[in-house]
Amino acid sequence: MNEKLNQYLNGVFSPYEGLRTVEELKDELRRDLQEKLNDLKKQGYDDETAYAKTIDSIGDIEETIRDVADEARSLERKVLTKFSATNLPGSDFRNVTVHGGNFNYSALKEADFSGSDLTGSTFRASDLNGAIFDGANLTDANFTMVSLQNGSFINSILIRANFDSSNLCGIKLDGANLTEAKLTKVGLKGAKFQNCVLHGTDFTYSDLSEVCFDGFVLNGTVFNKTYLVGTSFRGATLRNVSFYNIGRKSLRKASFDGASMDKLTYALLKSGGEANLTNVTII
């Protein structure tokens, strides 16, 4: 009869395995039901009748379990998404799912978030130097005022991500999707962008010196007030790309050799008076 009671409880609680609070409820209920069953048998009831009365005595237990499980899951979500002001350098966060996570003001130098889903998470003012986000989903993530020097975002999804006022020197963004991302007022000297998607990406006020955009297709990308000394756009295709208020030195030192661009983009660069556009094709 004890085995039958255990089978009943296992069946009722099986959808909620792994939730600590629910497991505690299950253990407590097992003890109470076992005591109830023993009392009924002492009163002279046969095994089957005692078992039936024991089960009837607990009422709608499934509704209670659901309520406890929902509360437990809610608590776990809060715990899993709040890492603000933590000291976790070199931590292994590979393949985790944390939507809307709070990693603000944290020490996460060389932490590994490879393959993780961090949609909507925020890392404001954190130390992420050397951190790895390869293959991660960082849609709508917030990296404002972070230090991400030599970090890696190879093949990551960074749609609408915000890196405003951050240090991204030497960062690896090869193969990343930066559609409509904001990399404004950031240091990007020596950053790697090979095979990136940069549609609508905003680089306003950023240092892009020595960055290579050779062969890129740039559509709606914003380079207003950027520093472009040594920046290369060789063979790139530029449509509706904005170059407002670029310094003369930047225009003179940037290379557009073999690039193709629409008339508006060409006119913006031409108006600066310093860009070498002799080998540019207007499309």
47 belongs to a structural domain: yes
54 belongs to a structural domain: yes
Measure the CA–CA gap between 165 and 158, rounded to whole angstroms. 17
206 belongs to a structural domain: no
55 belongs to a structural domain: yes
227 belongs to a structural domain: no
> How confident is the chain (283 residues) per 10-residue block, as mean pLDDT?
66 56 66 76 80 67 57 44 67 90 91 95 94 98 95 98 95 97 93 95 95 96 95 97 92 96 94 89 95
22 belongs to a structural domain: yes
Q: What is the pLDDT of residue 225?
A: 95
| Residues of the domain holding 10 | 1-79
Measure the CA–CA gap between 186 and 168, rounded to whole angstroms. 7
Q: Which amino acid is at 206?
A: S
Q: What is the pLDDT of residue 168?
A: 93
123 belongs to a structural domain: no
Domain count, the chain: 1
258 belongs to a structural domain: no
